[in-house]
Amino acid sequence: MREQGYERLKELTGLLREAGRVYYQESGEIMSNFEYDRLYDELQSLEEELGITLSGSPTANVGYEVLSELPKERHESRMLSLDKTKETEGLKEFLGEKRALMSWKLDGLTIVLTYRGGKLYKAVTRGNGEVGEVITSNAKVFKNIPLQISFKGELILRGEAVISYRDFEKINDGIEEAAAKYKNPRNLCSGSVRQLNNEVTAKRNVRFYAFSLVQADGVDFSNSRACQMEWLKSQGFEVVEYHIVERDTVEQEVRWFSEKISGNEFPSDGLVLVLDDIAYGRSLGQTAKFPRDSIAFKWADETRMTELLEIEWSPSRTGLINPVAIFRPVELEGTTVSRASVHNISIMEELELGVGDEIEVYKANMIIPQIARNLTRSGIRDIPKLCPVCQGRTEVQQVGNAKALYCMNPECQAKHIKAFSLFASRDALNIEGLSEATLEKFVARGFIREFSDIFHLERYSEEIKGMEGFGEKSYRNLIASIEKARVTTLPKVIYGLGIAGIGLANAKVICREFHNDADALIHADEESLNSIDGIGGVLAGAFVSYFKDENHIKLLLNLLKELEIPEEIVDNTERVLEGKKFVITGSVTHFANRGEVKELIESLGGKVTGSVTAKTDFLINNDVNSASSKNKKANELNVPIISEEEFIRMTRKAD
């Protein structure tokens, strides 16, 4: 028996080490949090029973080796993990007669910030607890970190960098490659914080919540952690939400947090209890792995048994066909759930998932439905050989650490979500309510196969009203927006087709040259297009190549049957900005947005580019004296910086 136990111990150590490596170093996932915790507890029990802890065991090591290209730095004091309990009695036993702060255990990436002279001096990730990665430039573009504070002494604090569920979904929707998609907000946050280019970090809406003050020279905190947290607030930091608790209020506070989590913007995998009495907490010391002044409370996941009814295969724009488990509806954490993403075929194989199986489901972080385990384990059956959208051939491929199913048809409608999204965008047909997420659902269900189908969604009115996130009102709003979009201009239609390199400005120039004649555009040759000022050989070639495809011509002609394109009124306005190149930055007050400014410039013969160069004639910025990068570049190149009012006076020469 001891030999069997030792073999199981070795197996669990290797399995959990690999899961940890993928999770921390590759921002990936090969098992659920539920499964990891279950195996971790089994390993810990075996180690205690056998008196053996192998090298590399996750119960003995804090974190994992850092392998990124970011600079490394050793922490002044080792950052330990927290001991944990899943029972409120464990919290009471830890607390005794003392007061403590109970707060969210946010599920992100722990960061250590250092301030000197009132300015952010350094930001370092937790790393393996002893050595972290220096991410100072990235921290400076977090959404809520103060770059300067009133306190001038050395301040060291710790907190959690997190990304909201909403931003997670939005960012993941924009990632083309299936292997590059993130499994959860925590993995996305890790990848965002550890970028080598902080421009990427800046776009990810990372926020920082302080949870511990390590050092603040010369400040008297009256021996209270709560006082420290309030002081951090006074310095401009957002701190993790916390409540003061005592032994007799522990249960009601745990209940309060557990009831609130379903509405939380950020993921939390439990609670933290830290003693308010700083001196007493320090006197307790620490073990090799845990501090003794704090403890983590892991959510005791509410689980339900149910029956797997089917595996729904949902195609995406990358060609990846995602398996989704559909099961008999059950109540979990106060809501009814009936479906859970399985992510990939490897996880299906691990669960030996088959229709009719009895499965146990839960909500990860009390939010995201997941399959905890499969009691029947009948095995995978009927992986589709044909794509459910286009009926093209499918193929199982190895992607990183996992196997996934792909549609091999390059013309599959599901792969053209970006094209449909561009078509519905503001500068094209401007159809409100057709987000990429909605388009994915419509395409997957066969509602949309080409552009013209968008104008006949009323055929599927009942199905759409019954979809998650839809209802009578949202359906009516969508149809109204589609009807409004029927009246448009030919340049917006041409731009909406997504021809390589053809933006709205180029589409306007080309349509003007061919007198808004769709037939002439379809049969245009490279020579005539190349002769148009600003088009050139590359764009001319792309335009002609697009319409060499008979299917593209058919798509356009079908679309035009649905649209009303009023005859363009000849504009005799003097083209006072002919040949002038502009860059627009900052906010505008006399126009709805910068797009309107751009349209006016182009209508008067000018051009708008995205960056300031020696060929730029004017930079429009209402904050003429700002220290922005565009202003600096303009000053270096002697490009005039003009306000919106100056620009308007310039255009009035056309009156």
Q: Catalytic site residues?
A: 105
As given in the structure block, the two tokens for residue 245 are 């608790």
The closest alpha carbon to 101, from 217, 225, 200, 203, belongs to 225
Dihedral of CA atoms 539, 544, 549, 554 in degrees, nearest 10, equals: 100
Find the distance separating the first CA and the last CA of the chain, reported in whole Å.
95
∠ CA 337-340-345 to the nearest 5 degrees? 165
Report whether 582 contacts 616 (CB < 8 A). yes
d(CA 411, CA 313): 18
Task: Name the H helices within 294-369.
Answer: 345-351
d(CA 281, CA 249): 20
Judged by DSSP in three states, 414 sits in helix
The packing angle between helices 417-424 and 436-444, to 10°, is: 130
Task: Name the H helices within 468-562.
Answer: 472-485, 490-496, 504-513, 518-522, 526-530, 536-548, 550-560
Query: Residue 505 to residues 58, 145, 493: CA-CA distances in angstroms?
Result: 57, 39, 12
d(CA 426, CA 596): 11
Q: Which residues of 223-245 are buried (b: 16+ CB within 10 A; e: fewer)?
A: ebbbbbbebbeebebbbbebeeb
Instruction: Write phi, then psi, for 181 (nearest 5 degrees).
Output: -70, 150
d(CA 250, CA 569): 73
Amino acid at 479: I
Judged by DSSP in three states, 245 sits in strand
